[in-house]
Amino acid sequence: MTLFFLKGVVRKWKTLILLFSVPLILMGGSAYIAAKAFTNKERLEPFKAAIVDQDETFQTGYVIKQLTDNKELTRVVKPVVTTEENARKLLEENKIAGMAILPENFSKTIMNGENVPLTVIGNENKPLQAYLFRQVMESAADYTSAAQSGINTIYDFMLQGDLSSEVRKTEYKKDVLSFSLHALGRNEIFDETEEGSLFLKNILSYYGISIFTLLLMVWAYQILLFMRGQITSGIRTRLLLYKMSAWRLSLSEWLAASVFLLPLLAAGVYALKAIDIWNGERMLEIGAGSILILLIFTALFGFVSSIFTSDRLFQLVSAVFISTGCVLGGHFIPSFYLPAWLEPYSLYSINTYALDLTYALFGGGTANFGPLFILLCALIILISLGAFLREKRMEAKG
């Protein structure tokens, strides 16, 4: 029976090519736009912020130098070291996102164990940039306090050892550098290797895997809709007259749809390897996991198809499954960007678990097939039950 359905589908191969290519083009374009929207350049342009050093000591100068020389930081914040008067003027002219003031005796009070708060003034016209600048300056203050704690200990030992003022001054500067590097976790020498943008690579991998999974879902819906309209409607009645059970027909449809989509599944996996999302390892595990996800999607729409005799109802319910799966499953918007009230509902979406498994497989994580395998068994039972109930309804109508 499965072979019979497959032969009927293959006869319409030209129509199917057109049918399957439409979502591929639409989703590919959407994924490209979404990925561009999340790149570093598109998210936030570098902004200027003023730093006012009223203490003007070696310690504060060193901290400011760390900020202004940090390549990663200057991609987001462009520090401008200036006077308080000029900083307030720039703030009024909306030329900076905020200003931070290091007060007089800042280093001295920290040496005495006091935590002196920084004065940070944000630009109300640039709330996001002002918030980021505040976080940077708070981190810098924490870093200074951590480094100073170690420096104070060494300085106290030098005082107890009655070392000369010149020796203490020389050692003090060395300690500022040494403990600063310890506080930053940079006290060891590393080999430097320049990598590409990890964020961009990860976001492209995210959307590549997401679109691959969503395409399997949409294609599963399309093939079952096609079979309902082109084959099943005319054949089903004659087969039922020959005492062919409804549940066998529905399961044969599901199996035929799954087998037909296997070449498309293989093409999708190869595409992920071609664009360097997958490194080609764990082939057996990835093959088994991808087929499991495909079987679940075809079983889902096979269940919907087994319940409804009306094509419109089948299309409507399937559209609800696909649209809610896109939103709750995180296909276009990652789930951690969802509103807090909506996020718990993602646990009720098949797409959430399908995506988790797909990311684990292609990302080198630990894959758990158990929950999805149980879900597949449940859907197969529901297909049989739905077909049986539909047959009983049709018999009752006469």
Domain annotation covers residue 214: yes
* Ordered alpha helix ranges (H), 228-367: 233-241, 246-274, 283-307, 311-329, 350-363
Domain annotation covers residue 192: no
Q: Are residues 301 and 379 in the same domain?
A: yes
Query: Which structural domain, as residue segments, surrounds residue 226?
Result: 2-38+197-397
Residue that is last in its domain, among 184, 214, 241: 184
Q: Which residues 6+ apart lie within 8 Å of 224 measured at CB?
A: 253, 254, 257, 298, 301, 302, 305
Domain annotation covers residue 189: no
Q: What pLDDT was estimated at residue 191?
A: 45
The tally of domains found in the chain comes to: 2
- Beta strand pairing call for 98-102 and 119-122: antiparallel
Q: Are residues 180 and 268 in the same domain?
A: no
153 vs 191, which has greater pLDDT?
153
Domain annotation covers residue 261: yes
Q: Which residues 6+ apart lie within 8 Å of 265 measured at CB?
A: 216, 290, 291, 294
Q: Are residues 162 and 258 in the same domain?
A: no
Q: Are residues 28 and 80 in the same domain?
A: no
* Ordered alpha helix ranges (H), 161-245: 165-184, 198-227, 233-241
Nearest to 23 by CA among 222, 206, 297, 228: 222
Residue that is last in its domain, among 159, 184, 209: 184
Domain annotation covers residue 25: yes
- Quickly count: other Cβ atoms within 10 Å of residue 121's Cβ: 18
Domain annotation covers residue 97: yes
Q: Are residues 340 and 215 in the same domain?
A: yes
Q: Is the dihedral of CA 133, 139, 144, 147 positive or negative?
A: negative
Q: Are residues 94 and 126 in the same domain?
A: yes
Cα–Cα distance measured from residue 148 to residue 142, given in angstroms and rounded to the nearest whole number: 10
Q: What is the pLDDT of residues 103-154, one digit of tens each?
A: 887 767 655 556 666 788 888 888 777 777 777 766 666 655 555 555 565 6
Q: What percent of the chain has pLDDT over 90?
A: 17
Q: Are residues 227 and 356 in the same domain?
A: yes
Residue that is last in its domain, among 152, 184, 216: 184
Q: Are residues 81 and 34 in the same domain?
A: no
- Quickly count: other Cβ atoms within 10 Å of residue 45's Cβ: 9
Q: Are residues 201 and 130 in the same domain?
A: no
Q: Tell me the average pLDDT of the chain.
A: 76
Residue with tokens 């107890």: 160
Domain annotation covers residue 243: yes
Q: Are residues 240 and 383 in the same domain?
A: yes
Q: What is the CATH number of the domain that holds 155?
A: 3.40.1710
Q: Are residues 138 and 228 in the same domain?
A: no
Q: What percent of the chain has pLDDT over 70?
A: 65
Cα–Cα distance measured from residue 336 to residue 348, given in angstroms and rounded to the nearest whole number: 16
Instruction: Quickly state the pLDDT bin for 54 (edges 50, 70, 90).
Output: confident
Q: Are residues 207 and 341 in the same domain?
A: yes
Domain annotation covers residue 288: yes
Question: Residues 196, 205: contact at Cβ < 8 Å?
Answer: no
| pLDDT over 90 (residue 221) | yes
- Average pLDDT on 239-252 reads 73
Q: What is the pLDDT of residues 280-298, one digit of tens each?
A: 888 899 999 999 999 999 9
Name the DSSP class of 231. I
63 vs 284, which has greater pLDDT?
284
Give the pTM: 0.58
Q: How far apart are the first and last CA of the chain?
A: 26
Long-range CB pairs of 202-206 (<8 Å, 24+ gap) are 203/35, 203/38, 203/39, 204/35, 204/275, 204/277, 205/277, 205/362, 205/363, 206/334, 206/359
Cα–Cα distance measured from residue 273 to residue 279, given in angstroms and rounded to the nearest whole number: 6
